[in-house]
Amino acid sequence: MNYDFSEKEFTLFVDINEKMAGLAANGQLDRKDPAHNKENIKQALKQLAQTPYLKLGLQPVDGYQGQLSWMGAAETLAAVSPSAYLAVEASTRLFGRAVNEWGDSNQKSKWLTPLLEGNLIGALAISEETLNIENDPLTAQGERQGESVAINGAKQYVINAPIADWIAVAGTCDDAYALFLIEKEASGLTVEPAMETLGYDGTPISGIRLEDCRIPNEQVIFPPADIDMAEAIRMWENQILLGAGLGLSKAAYETARDHAKSHRSGGKPIIAYQEVGFKLADMLTLFQTSQLLAYRTAWTAETSPKEAGELLLCAKVFCAESAEQVCSEALKILGGNGYITGNSVERAYRCAKYVQIAGTSTEIGRVKIGDAALGYRN
């Protein structure tokens, strides 16, 4: 047993903070700013590529524990900039992870190498209008036509679609799961305008349409037949969202704590009042409990992946709901300051809802955890 991160891991967390602080100053990375969003994410990737961050969980890095080290680092990044975090992760640990796990060596050198060097932005499109919790068959479909494949379908809510160099589209081909790797300029690909969202303002997100979009066979990735691709991607999303939730809780808690210690009312700092100090205690309890649960989940995913599924769902539900509660309380502690648009707590509060909705929603998560306890499999 060991409940501590190593020196090396801590050093990485500090490094990420320092490398990102300038870019993220004044909430620059977290604004709706179509003219600059792409450049901002590129810059963030460049900074992170100077650290082991992008590789963690994908490739072995000396002295780090894969997903576990990543979870700690993810929390750091997601606290500095929720939007940049989500964009970086969609590129790295959705698009990149799919290529890493299922691509051949040519495909890896084509997409993964530039991605890990911070020279490529990826997106992974899976969600469809008809998709529901039980993973209905994907309707996006590729049809083989000699040396190429023609793809038809539509995807909604694709993170990074408006800024991605490459989009991996999840669908089927020859009655098997397949990922179609499509370049941004490909004919037959329409990227819809970026959506207006409640939070994650700096993460461009949109729907895409594919109408007879033709790609060469080398741009199709087939996961092994025994893998439920849609389920696997959901789990990756959940892991990313765990990090997102931790980051939001961290940012909101720390801002509220610092404010409560410095802001005075009635001659004392407001933390001296139980209505404020005890709220912070509850917030910290939720945050620290979330951390432990998320780290244990990441450790389990690293050491015995087969057992990680249920724990991941428990952690996802807990961290996502805790993040919203922590942000909500933090907002009250900031008083009027909190309600003014543009501060980190208000921003985190708006982002928090997404963490519950995306990936496995907290509703579906609870049903699945219940099913597991009952021995019902779906």
Single-letter code of the amino acid located at 276: V
CB nearer to another protein: pick between 227 and 292: 292
Task: With H, G, I as helix, E, B as strand and everything else as coil, classify residue 178.
Answer: strand
- C-alpha distances in angstroms, 98 versus 112, 210, 226? 10, 20, 15
- Spatial separation of the C-alpha atoms in residues 201 and 34, rounded to whole Å: 10
N-terminal to C-terminal alpha carbon distance within the chain: 34
* Placement of tokens 């720390």 in the chain: 254
11 binds another protein (CB under 8 A): no
CB nearer to another protein: pick between 167 and 326: 326
The CB-side HSE value for 2 (13 A sphere, CA atoms) comes to 6
Q: What is the CA radius of gyration of the chain?
A: 21
Other CB atoms within a 10 A radius of the CB of residue 224 amount to 10
> Of residues 4, 7, 62, 175, which one binds another protein by CB under 8 A?
4
274 binds another protein (CB under 8 A): yes
Task: With H, G, I as helix, E, B as strand and everything else as coil, classify residue 180.
Answer: strand
> Of residues 284, 332, 343, 353, which one binds another protein by CB under 8 A?
284
CB nearer to another protein: pick between 26 and 304: 304
Structure tokens at 315: 């952690």
CB nearer to another protein: pick between 155 and 234: 234
288 binds another protein (CB under 8 A): yes
CB nearer to another protein: pick between 194 and 284: 284
92 binds another protein (CB under 8 A): no
Q: Cα angle at 354 between 305 and 249, to 5 degrees?
A: 75
295 binds another protein (CB under 8 A): yes
> Of residues 299, 344, 348, 349, which one binds another protein by CB under 8 A?
299
CA dihedral of 157, 161, 167, 172, whole degrees rounded to 10: 20
212 binds another protein (CB under 8 A): no
Region of 93-101, 125-133, 154-162, 273-281 interacting with another protein (CB under 8 A): 273-281
**Considering the complex, what minimum distance in angstroms separates the CB of residue 267 from another protein?**
18
**Considering the complex, what minimum distance in angstroms separates the CB of residue 50 from another protein?**
25
**Considering the complex, what minimum distance in angstroms separates the CB of residue 346 from another protein?**
22
Beta strand pairing call for 268-269 and 189-191? unpaired
* Placement of tokens 């244990």 in the chain: 296
Region of 46-54, 107-115, 347-355, 365-373 interacting with another protein (CB under 8 A): 365-373
**Considering the complex, what minimum distance in angstroms separates the CB of residue 271 from another protein?**
6
Give Cβ neighbours of residue 288 (< 8 Å, ≥ 6 apart).
none
- Spatial separation of the C-alpha atoms in residues 90 and 243, rounded to whole Å: 12
- For residue 271, give the DSSP letter: G
CB nearer to another protein: pick between 50 and 289: 289
**Considering the complex, what minimum distance in angstroms separates the CB of residue 89 from another protein?**
21
87 binds another protein (CB under 8 A): no
311 binds another protein (CB under 8 A): yes
> Of residues 112, 315, 320, 331, which one binds another protein by CB under 8 A?
315
- Spatial separation of the C-alpha atoms in residues 218 and 124, rounded to whole Å: 17
235 binds another protein (CB under 8 A): no
Task: Report yes or no: 256 and 283 within 8 Å, Cβ to Cβ.
Answer: yes
Q: How far out from the chain centre does Cα 335 lie? A: 30
Binding string, 33-72, against another protein, x = CB under 8 A?
--------------------------------x--x----
# residues near another protein by CB under 8 A = 43
Bridge partner list, 264: 269
Binding site for another protein (CB under 8 A): 1-5, 65, 68, 257, 271, 274, 277-278, 280-282, 284-285, 288-289, 292-293, 295-296, 299-300, 303, 310-311, 314-315, 317-318, 365-367, 369-376
